[in-house]
């Protein structure tokens, strides 16, 4: 892609999210969401391939519908209550409608079906943007509105944790697995959203670090299926060593930083006497852990059944430093070692 065009598109992506984050008026929030959607479409449709076009079309239809529904609810709220403030919205029907529209934009459980298909159709770089940066704006809007029906978000959160686990079990495509893992993580955030917004923001932050590390690693390995991961040791031995730890951090195992949000969310839920919800969420995280373990098994713990010369690459890849690959060490460090720093990170957010 033309670098000037790329700069314009990436700047508009940043502008859209910044506009949404800094607005108190529903119209400006909607404008920011639209700018973000319109800016990422050329990035998605840029490879001339039917899959990329299809992914861009699906993403466009879903995001445009969600944005229109959001604005419809905001206008109706303005007709009934006479103001456009995000934080003072209090009509029950239209608050629920806006919540559902934002959940559709995020890709949570009953409205999640676009997410694996879109991530599967785009390149790993664009998939990184879709599953991290594009989640920020709708999530912050979701944090700001007052929730009127508490069971709505609880049910949707639990359903997305379960579906994110179950959906990824049968997949061999890495990008679909990552999409389901993203659905499950967003389910955890939505589950805790109405009890503690600080914890939800913290979980989003950790999720962004972990997902960027995973996408950049896969980009480095040039892998899109599980089979292609088995020859990682010939391409990047260091990644072979670190990748299982990164995946277990996504799964939420103790000494790694992915454990922190799950730990605090479970603690908060138990403190507020939502013990069944906490149990279901903790047990459903095992489903996600299964496919992370399968990925780390095929990266590190097993050799591919090929004979040895076939595992080697035809050409030696000299390490080329791209901006993304130079961000890999930082993302990996944040993914693996953030747990001891959790108290100070939480005080930063609260």
Partner 1 sequence: MTPIQMTFSTMFLLGLMGLTFHRTHLLSALLCLESMMLSLFLATSLWALQLSTINIATVPMLLLAFSACEASSGLALLVATARTHGSDHMQNLNLLQC
Binding residues vs partner 1 (CB under 8 A): 27, 31, 34, 38, 41, 45, 48-51, 53-58, 60-61, 64-65, 68-69, 71-72, 75-76, 78-80, 116-118, 120-121, 170-171, 176
Tokens read off for 10: 């990436």
When the beta carbons of 129 and 189 are compared against partner 1, the nearer one is 129
When the beta carbons of 113 and 304 are compared against partner 1, the nearer one is 113
DSSP letters for 160-186:
HHHHHHHHHHT--BHHHHHHHHHHHHH
When the beta carbons of 194 and 288 are compared against partner 1, the nearer one is 288
CB of 246 to partner 1, least distance (A): 25
CB proximity list for 166: less than 8 A, separation 6 or greater = 287
CB of 320 to partner 1, least distance (A): 30
CB proximity list for 118: less than 8 A, separation 6 or greater = 44, 55, 58, 59, 62, 130, 179
When the beta carbons of 50 and 309 are compared against partner 1, the nearer one is 50
When the beta carbons of 31 and 155 are compared against partner 1, the nearer one is 31
CB of 103 to partner 1, least distance (A): 16
Q: Where are the alpha helices (DSSP H) in the chain?
A: 3-21, 26-45, 50-81, 92-106, 114-121, 124-128, 134-144, 150-169, 174-193, 197-221, 226-229, 232-235, 237-251, 259-271, 275-296, 308-311, 323-337, 342-349
When the beta carbons of 170 and 227 are compared against partner 1, the nearer one is 170
CB of 182 to partner 1, least distance (A): 16
Cα dihedral 309, 301, 119, 325 sign: negative
CB of 11 to partner 1, least distance (A): 16
CB of 208 to partner 1, least distance (A): 24
């Amino acid at each position: 892609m033309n670098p000037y065009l790329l700069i314009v598109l990436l700047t508009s992506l940043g502008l859209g999210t910044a506009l949404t984050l800094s607005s108190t008026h529903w119209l400006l929030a909607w404008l920011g969401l639209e700018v973000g959607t319109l800016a990422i479409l050329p990035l998605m449709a840029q490879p001339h391939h039917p899959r990329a076009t299809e992914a861009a079309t699906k993403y466009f239809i879903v995001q445009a519908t969600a944005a229109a529904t959001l604005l419809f609810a905001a206008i109706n709220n303005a007709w009934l209550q006479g103001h456009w403030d995000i934080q003072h919205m209090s009509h029950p029907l239209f608050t629920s409608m806006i919540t559902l529209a934002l959940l559709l934009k995020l890709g949570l459980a009953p409205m999640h079906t676009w997410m694996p298909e879109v991530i599967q159709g785009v390149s790993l770089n664009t998939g990184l943007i879709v599953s991290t940066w594009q989640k920020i704006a709708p999530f912050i809007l979701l944090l700001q509105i007052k929730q009127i029906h508490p069971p709505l978000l609880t049910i949707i959160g639990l359903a997305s944790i379960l579906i994110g686990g179950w959906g990824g079990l049968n997949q061999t495509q890495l990008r679909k697995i990552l999409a389901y893992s993203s659905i499950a993580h967003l389910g955890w955030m939505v589950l805790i959203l109405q009890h503690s917004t600080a914890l939800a923001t913290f979980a989003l932050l950790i999720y962004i670090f972990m997902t960027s590390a995973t996408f950049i690693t896969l980009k480095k390995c040039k892998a899109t299926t599980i089979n292609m991961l088995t020859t990682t040791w010939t391409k990047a031995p260091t990644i072979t060593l670190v990748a299982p730890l990164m995946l277990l951090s996504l799964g939420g195992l103790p000494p790694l930083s992915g454990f922190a949000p799950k730990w605090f969310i479970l603690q908060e839920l138990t403190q507020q006497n939502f013990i069944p919800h906490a149990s279901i969420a903790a047990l459903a995280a095992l489903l996600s852990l299964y496919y992370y373990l399968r990925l780390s098994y095929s990266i590190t713990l097993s050799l591919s059944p090929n004979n040895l010369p076939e595992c080697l690459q035809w050409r030696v890849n000299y390490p080329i430093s791209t901006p993304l690959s130079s961000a890999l060490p930082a993302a990996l460090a944040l993914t693996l070692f953030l747990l001891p720093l959790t108290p100070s990170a939480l005080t930063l957010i609260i």
